[in-house]
Each structure stands twice: as C-alpha cells, then as structure tokens.
Amino acid sequence: MTSLLTIQNLKRHFGGLWATRDVSLEIQCGEIHALIGPNGAGKTTLIHLISGGLFPDEGHLLFDGRDVTKKSMHERVALGIARSFQITQIFPKISVLENVRLAVQARQRDWGSSLSMWRPASADFSMIEEAEDWLGRVGLAEHAGTHAADLSHGEQRALELAMTLATRPRLLLLDEPLAGMGPEESERMTQLIASLKGEQTVLLVEHDMDMVFRVADHISVLVAGHIAATGTPDAIRADSAVKRAYLGEDVA
Amino acid sequence: MMRASRSVLSGTLLGELALLSFAIILPWLLTALGEDYYIGFATRLLIYALAATSLNFVVGYGGMVAFGHAAFFGGGAYLVALLMTGGLLSAWANWPLTMLIVALLAWAIGAISLRTRGVYFIMITLAFAQMIYYSVISLKIAGGDDGLPLDQRSSLFPFDLGNDHILYWLALGLLAISLLLLKRLSHSRYGHALAGIRQNETRMEALGYPVQQLKLACFVIGAVLAALAGALLVNQNGMAGPGQLYWTQSGMLLVMVILGGVGHRYGGVLGAFVLLGLEEALAQVTEHSHLYIGLILLAVVLYAPRGLAGLFFKSR
C-alpha cells in the first residue's frame, strides 16, 4: 500500500490554545481511516487543515507526493480532497437533483471558456444523468425533485455525501457523518460508508464507536492535539493508553 | 413537461417581442404627436434601465450588495468624455476602450473589496467610489466641479448619434442585447454556480468552485455594463458631471434595483422606469416628489419584498 496523504508535524493554535499540537499521520490508498478522540481533541480542526478551510502554523501536507500545504480549498478539491461538514452544508432552496448536479458540474474547471457562460447548463444531459446515479447510490433517487430544505436531517446528510462523492475525490473527509441521526438513519449511513470500502480512501471523524470499529481499517486516536495511537481496530481496542485516555466503558 | 415549459417560454417571448416592437416605433410615434421632448426622456429611461440592470446582476445574481456602482456608471461617462476631449471621437474605439479601462478598475476594486463581506463590503465599495469621486473633481482635465462638457456626440459611423432617434435606438438595442446576454448567462453553468454561491459559499468552495474568482467576474461584468450605460449617458446629457460619480447616484441605482426586484431579470428595468417615471410625473404636481417616492419605496419593501417584478412575474 502507498500513502495517499502524509501529514508532517502539523501545528495550529488559536490564541493560546494549541488545537493541533504536533500531528503526523499517513493515510494509505484505499483504506478507511477513522479519527477518534474526546471532545476538543482537535479532530475537526485537523479536518479543516487537511481540506484547506484552515491553514497550519507549521508543518506540511503531502497529497500523493505533492505539497498542498498552501493550496486553497477549491484547489485541493481539484486535486482530489473533498469533505463533508459536521453541520450539513447543502443548497436548501434548489432541488435535490440540482444540488448534486452542481457538484458534478464543479469538476468541469473551464471557467475561462466561453461555453461555461453561454451554453445552458440544462443542455448537458450527461451531468443530470450522473447526478441521478449518485442520488441512487445514496438512496435518494425518489427525492430528486424535492427541495433540499424539505428533506429529513438524515436525508440531507446523505445528500451531502452524494455531493461530496460527485466531486470524485481521491480522499474523502467525513466529519461526523452520523451527527444528529436516529438509529435507523445511522445504520443506513454506516452501510453506505462501509460500501465505499476498497474503492474509496476515507478519513472519518466519528463519535459512534460501533460504527467506527465496524468500518475502519485503521484508527487513530487524537488526544489534546496530538496522535496518541494509530493501529488496526483490534490493536486500538487492546491499547491500554487509549482506554485510559478515551474509550473508557465503550470497550468494556 | 419539457413541452409545457417551452410553451410558457414562448408566451413570455411573445410579450417581450411585443414590448420591444412598441419600444422600436415609440420615437416615430412621439415625433408624430409633436412630443419630441419625451424621446430624450425615454432614452434616459433606457440608459438608467441598463445601469440598474448591471447593478442587479451584481446584487441579485452575484449576491454582492455593492454601494459604489456610480464609480463605473459615472466613470464610464467621464472616460468617454475624456477620451473625446483627447480626440478619440469614434464610439467604435472610444467605448470599448472605456469599458476595458473600467473592467480593469473594477477588477482591482473588486479583488480588494471581496476580501470583506456583508456590511463591510457595502462600506468598502462606497469608500472606493467616493475616492474616485473626489479624485475626479480635483482633476483639472476632468473639469473639476463643473464637469466635462462635450462639443458633440460620439461618432458611430455610419450612424448619426447626433440624431435623437438614433441615440434612442442605440440605447434600446444595447439594453436588449445586455438583457439577452444576462439571461443566457444566468442559465449557463456559470449562472448556476452563482446561484449556488448565493445560497452557500462554503459548500461551493468545498465542491471545488473558485468562489472568489467567480464573484469577481460577476462584479466586473456588472461594472462593464454600467460603463456602457455611462457612455450612453454622457452622449445623452452632453456632459459628464460630478453628480454621476457621487454616492447618491449609487444609492439611486440600488433603490431602482430594490424597487424593481432584486435578482429578477427585469428588476433593473422596471425599477428604473418606475422611479424615473414617478419623479417626472410627480414633479409636475408637487414639490415634494421625493417624499412620495420614499413612501412608495417603503411600501414596496414592506409588502412586496421581491419588488415590483415579483408582483408581475412568477419566475425569475
């Protein structure tokens, strides 16, 4: 296995608080890598740093061997790093289909060409068809015509995943995909993420330990801004330092 | 479903063509009625409709509340006058050059202003426009407080812009073409991207859209169309005046957009027609026309937040 993302000595502070103290981590091609840790450990900050929502004070990010530390978010998406958000980010006032179509359209980075400003977007049936495929993949096919705002919370999370997948990322960053979901919705989302196994590299932040241990190939434990342990689910389960720092009764 | 939407489209198209035909024959009609004064007034309506439409593109499509549009509208007027004073009389060369210079100016102002958002964006665009206003009135070659009079209108060989009918038709043609271009633009991939940006910038950036650049392009397109309106205005007025650069001009264009309908294809046109029409009509019966216009604007904001266009048309 080769490393898709290499994080080298990443540091980021907010005032006097070191949200990311000194993080080094490797994400392998094709794996589902879960990032766990107590509240305030810096998990979301790390996702921001990798996606380009925040920039590190020190350290480097190598994506597929390329230094992307200084790249903006949309440049990183173009290279293949895409993310979902802890708080759902969709376009509420347009149809579910158009939400995903915009994501498909985002891959056509030809803003310099006159076509992007002249040709009607609706004339491009292939984009609409691809958007429909993604909706089918996340189980929202029958909601294509619905206003995104009218979807349930769980459906909106699924829609956001479809949009993120439609950018065809090489590395998918998921920030608490199960946040705020009921048991049924959680189960559906877990199966969806598990179905990506083998075809999609994923870095996943999640509090739901059942889910994490079900889908992850590797788990890293983030405590107070640094990686306390990295390993297979079995190794993490057995790690006494991890138990003390975080898992507590979850593994009992 | 496709067939139904097409027939609705052709219905709208018929209405648009009928209005355009009426607008085309209007100067002959007015001349026949001996009301030649109103040709100039109608030309002014068309010019302000174009200026307000250009601002509506920035505000309504790009989601940027810009309070400095006078810099580009009045700036276009001044540049045309300056270039004519320098001997460049041909509109074929003068106007495109003016639009190019305004595009560069808008690029610079936009690139800086777009680092801010919301009320700060309003303030910084206002500040830039006022800076340009004070710079221009301190320039001797721009005529200072007196403005810059034109000896003649731009030449547009083989057409004679000195003829009021021709200037009217030019304004009408440029407005129609601009509306067509913006309609085309709003349905393109770029237009859909702008719609996404209006709803959720974070999501657009996270999908890989270069949000700032796309907004900047929108800002520049709006500015260039405003410069074109300014080129028409300076020919209609026979001079470029400081008032065309002043913040009240930006304010008036914003009022037109809000009155007509923010983000509606015809919002700028309706707003300009209604505001200038009301000013003209009320001026004949009362000295306090601005009071009544203020009350009407208040009523629109309170009871028709999507503007007059929102009352008349269902779709954008």
The pTM of the whole model exceeds 0.90: yes
| All structural domains of chain A | 3-80+169-251 (3.40.50.300), 95-166 (no CATH)
Beta strands in chain B, from DSSP E residues, in sequence order: 148-149, 239-240
For residue B286, tell me if it sits in a domain.
no
Considering only CB atoms, B196 lies closest to which of A91, A111, A119, namely A91
DSSP bridge pairs for A223:
A226
CA B7 to chain centre: 30
3-state secondary structure of B124: helix
Quote the pLDDT of residue B4: 47
Cβ–Cβ under 8 Å, residues A47 and A27:
no
Residue B200 exposure: Cα atoms within 13 Å on the Cβ side = 21
Please name the residue of chain B whose CA is at the shortest distance from the CA of residue A127.
Answer: B189
Quote the pLDDT of residue A206: 94
For residue B114, tell me if it sits in a domain.
yes
Encoded tokens for B51:
């200026």
How many CB pairs below 8 A link A and B? 88
What residues in A contact B196, CB-CB < 8 Å? 91, 94, 102
> How many structural domains are present in chain B?
1
Whole-number Cα distances in Å, B21 to B24, B172, B183, B208: 5, 11, 19, 44
DSSP bridge pairs for A6:
A26, A62
pLDDT at A63 over 90: yes
Quote the pLDDT of residue A252: 39
Q: What is the DSSP letter of B243?
A: G
For residue B167, tell me if it sits in a domain.
yes
Query: What mean pLDDT comes out for the span A47-51?
Result: 96
CA dihedral B86, B90, B91, B95 (to 10 degrees): -40
Consecutive 10-residue averages of pLDDT for chain B (316 residues): 51 88 95 93 98 98 96 98 95 97 98 95 98 96 93 93 96 97 95 96 96 97 98 97 96 96 95 94 87 89 87 67
Quote the pLDDT of residue A222: 92
Quote the pLDDT of residue A247: 57
What residues in A contact B206, CB-CB < 8 Å? 51, 73, 77, 82-83, 85, 89, 164
For residue B299, tell me if it sits in a domain.
no
Cβ–Cβ under 8 Å, residues A169 and A82:
yes
Please name the residue of chain A whose CA is at the shortest distance from the CA of residue B212.
Answer: A74
Considering only CB atoms, A91 lies closest to which of B184, B199, B208, namely B199
Q: How far is B54 from chain A (nearest CA, A)?
A: 16
Quote the pLDDT of residue A251: 43
For residue B301, tell me if it sits in a domain.
no
Does A73 contact B214 at a Cβ distance shorter than 8 Å? no
Q: How many angstroms separate the CA atoms of B238 and B221, rounded?
A: 26
Query: Which of B230, B218, B232 lies closest to B182 in space, CA to CA?
Result: B218
For residue B158, tell me if it sits in a domain.
yes
Considering only CB atoms, B207 lies closest to which of A93, A106, A120, namely A106
Tokens 């061997």 found at: A65
Cβ–Cβ under 8 Å, residues A203 and A30:
no
Angle at CA of residue B222, ends B217 and B225, nearest 5°: 125
For residue B263, tell me if it sits in a domain.
no
For residue B205, tell me if it sits in a domain.
yes
Q: How far is A8 from chain B (nearest CA, A)?
A: 23
Tokens 């990798």 found at: A50
**Is residue A17 very low, low, confident or very high in pLDDT (cuts 50, 70, 90)?**
confident
Q: Could you give the angle at which helices B37-56 and B2-32 cross, rounded to 10 degrees?
A: 150
pLDDT at A113 over 90: no
Considering only CB atoms, B202 lies closest to which of A78, A89, A101, namely A89
Please name the residue of chain A whose CA is at the shortest distance from the CA of residue B180.
Answer: A118
Q: How do residues A167-189 score in pLDDT, each as one tens digit?
A: 999 999 999 999 989 999 999 99
Q: Amino acid identity, residue B69?
A: H
Q: What domain range includes position B116?
A: 20-245
